[in-house]
C-alpha cells in the first residue's frame, strides 16, 4: 500500500491525489484523505482559532479521519494516535507521527512531498527525528521517496566527498 505524506513546505502542490495524508492546515489548501494534527486541539490551540475551526469543518464535511493526540467529541472521525504501539517514543513533529502511522498501517511505500525541514527548529530539532524514522521505515523494507525540494537524507560521503 502506497501512502503519500504531505507537509506544508515547498513542493506540497506536486503531490498526487490518492491515499494522501496532510499535516495540520494543509487540507485548507488541497484535498487530502486524512489529516494529522498532533497538537492539543481542545485546549490552547497551536493554530489560530479560525484555522482550527476550518480544519474541523473540513474533516467533518468530508468525513475523513483526523489523527490527533486524543479523540475529539466534536469530530466523529477523529482517531487518537496509537502511542502505545509506537516502537520508540521519539517524535519531534507531526511528520514523524505520519511516518509511524503509515508503518503501523502496513505501508509498503511512502512518498513525501512538502517536507523540506531546512530552517529554524525544523532544521535543528525536527529534521533528525524525521530522518531517524525514514531510516526505520527503510530498515523495515518500506520504500521511502522524499521529493524535492528537501534537505532530508542529504549529505556528503565521508572519506569520498571531502578534498
The three-state secondary structure class of 66 is: strand
Residue 44: band (very low, low, confident or very high) from pLDDT cuts 50, 70, 90: low
Residue 26: band (very low, low, confident or very high) from pLDDT cuts 50, 70, 90: very high
Q: Tens digit of pLDDT for each residue in 64-123?
A: 999 999 999 999 999 999 999 999 999 999 999 999 999 999 999 999 999 998 776 666
In this structure, the number of other CB atoms found within 10 A of the CB of residue 33 comes to: 16
Q: What's the rounded Cα separation, in Å, for the pair 115 and 122?
A: 10
pTM here? 0.92
- Give the least confident one: 26-30, 41-45, 85-89: 41-45
Using a pLDDT cut of 70, give the percent of the chain over it.
93
Q: What's the rounded Cα separation, in Å, for the pair 51 and 38?
A: 15
Residue 43: band (very low, low, confident or very high) from pLDDT cuts 50, 70, 90: low
The three-state secondary structure class of 135 is: helix
Helix (H) or strand (E) holding 80: strand 78-80
In this structure, the number of other CB atoms found within 10 A of the CB of residue 8 comes to: 17
Cα–Cα nearest to 97, from 83, 110, 111, 107: 83
Domains of the chain: 2-146 (3.90.1480.10)
Q: Are the C-beta atoms of 39 and 45 separated by less than 8 Å?
A: yes
Q: What is the structure's pLDDT at 30?
A: 97
Amino acid at each position: 500500500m502506497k501512502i503519500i505524506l504531505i507537509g506544508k513546505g515547498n513542493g506540497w502542490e506536486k503531490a498526487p491525489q490518492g491515499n494522501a495524508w496532510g499535516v495540520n492546515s494543509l487540507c485548507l489548501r488541497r484535498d487530502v484523505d486524512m489529516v494529522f494534527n498532533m497538537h492539543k486541539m481542545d485546549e490552547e490551540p497551536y493554530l489560530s482559532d479560525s484555522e482550527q475551526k476550518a480544519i474541523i469543518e473540513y474533516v467533518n464535511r468530508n468525513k475523513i479521519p483526523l489523527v490527533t493526540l486524543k479523540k475529539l467529541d466534536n469530530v466523529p472521525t477523529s482517531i487518537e494516535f496509537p502511542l502505545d504501539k509506537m516502537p520508540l517514543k521519539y517524535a519531534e513533529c507531526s511528520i514523524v507521527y505520519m511516518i509511524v502511522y503509515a508503518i503501523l498501517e502496513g505501508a509498503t511505500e511512502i512518498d513525501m512531498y512538502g517536507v523540506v525541514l531546512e530552517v529554524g527548529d525544523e532544521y535543528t530539532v525536527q529534521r533528525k527525528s524525521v530522518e531517524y524514522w525514514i531510516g526505520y521505515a527503510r530498515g523495515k523494507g518500506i520504500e521511502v521517496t522524499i521529493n524535492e525540494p528537501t534537505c532530508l537524507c542529504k549529505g556528503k560521503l565521508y572519506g569520498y566527498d571531502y578534498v
